[in-house]
Structures are given as structure tokens and as C-alpha cells.
Amino acid sequence: MRRRVVGCSIIASLLAAGPVAGQVSLMHNATPAAVTEALKATFVPQGFQVGKADDKGALFTLDKGDMTQNTSTGMQVFHMVVEIQARYKHKSEGLEVSLKEEVVATTNTQEVRNPVQTRTELDNLQTLLDGVRTDLEAKAKRDSSGH
């Protein structure tokens, strides 16, 4: 089991973080299965596992292991997992896809969820969604033209 000692500020930021909205993209001619496959192609090579995947969404998880923090009552071990949640909503114009990334810290008695907060992290999620949309729409255009 991998353990690391981290500063109080990292765990404290997990405990104090407020909610942040995820990123959203409207994809024409896309299906939930096609979007999930495109996301798998990005996340699985990075070590993510596919949790669940259906017509309503997909969950990708990356186990970061245990991290230890000094507290006033001694050392506390947090198990850290990165979760990326894709949600699919069918619209008349296409498939609305939203991505939300959270770091989940758990102990024996509590679970703390911290959504991504920085502009860079949110921009990375939006760039990923935009790339998936572009790729799927280009594929649909090629398929419809018979190439």
C-alpha cells in the first residue's frame, strides 16, 4: 500500500471546498456509447478504471492511494480517488454531455468530495469535451458521406 505524507493545506482544502459546476458540451449526432468510448480512449491509458457506464452517464476512477496527514489527534490516513463523472442528457439538438471531476478523500468514518476548482482544470475538462465533440461530429460527417 502506497502512503505519502501531505501538508495540512491539501487536506484542509478538501474539507473546505465549495461546489464548482462541471463543463458542458452539446454534441450533434452523438450517442452515449460513442461518447463513453471516446472518453475511455482518453482516461484508461492514464490509469482510470471505468466504474459504471450507461445511457445516462459514465464514471471513471483513478485510485491515488493513501495519504497521511498530521492532525491534532495524531496521524490520519486518507484514501484518495479521482472521479470523473460524465452525464448524458438527450436534447432535441443532440446529446448534452457534462463532465465533473472530484477528488474523494475517505477515512474509516468520513468521505469528503472536492470538485476541481482551478480555471486550468476546468479548461482542461472543456478542451477534452470539445475534442470529443469535434471527433464524433467529424466521424458522423464521414459516415454520412460514405467515406
Separation between Cα atoms, residue 52 and residue 98, nearest integer Å: 16
Element holding 145 (H helix, E strand): helix 119-145
pTM for this model (two decimals): 0.78
Q: Which residues of 54-67 are buried (b: 16+ CB within 10 A; e: fewer)?
A: eeebbbbbbebeeb
- pLDDT tens track, the chain, 147 positions: 443 434 434 444 443 443 345 699 999 889 999 999 999 999 999 999 999 999 999 999 999 999 998 878 788 889 999 999 999 999 999 999 999 999 999 988 889 899 988 899 999 999 999 999 999 988 878 877 766
Half-sphere exposure at residue 26, Cβ-oriented, CA atoms within 13 angstroms: 5
Q: Nearest Cα to 139, choosing from 27, 47, 57?
A: 27
Domain range for residue 83?
A: 3-145
Domain count, the chain: 1
